Amino acid sequence: MKKAIAELEIARSRLTQEGGDLGKQVEEYESKMTILLKGKKALEQKVEELKGQNEEEIRVSLLLFSHSISRSDKHLFLLTILDLF
């Protein structure tokens, strides 16, 4: 009987230690996940910023191009551009 109790105490101690180790691992993974999510959000914001810059550059390029073509070609150009958007 005493041997069985001693074995159970040892098993309980081991399980308590393993539970603590697993808790620490969960905390580490949660911390890493938080860092990754912050990085993801920063990248998403940068993508949106770059999209806006790209759209603005396209508008400027189209405006400059439209000023460089003849008046007769301008009407056709504008119709083509409107079809793209």
Number of domains in the chain: 1
Other beta carbons within 10 Å of 70? 8
Residue 25: give the domain boundaries: 2-84
Tokens of 50: 């770059």
How far apart, in whole angstroms, are the C-alpha atoms of residue 76 and residue 69? 10
pLDDT band per the 50, 70, 90 thresholds, residue 70: low
| Sign of torsion over alpha carbons 46, 49, 53, 54 | positive
What pLDDT was estimated at residue 63? 80
What length is written for the chain? 85
pTM of the model: 0.58
Kindly report the average pLDDT of the chain as a whole number. 87
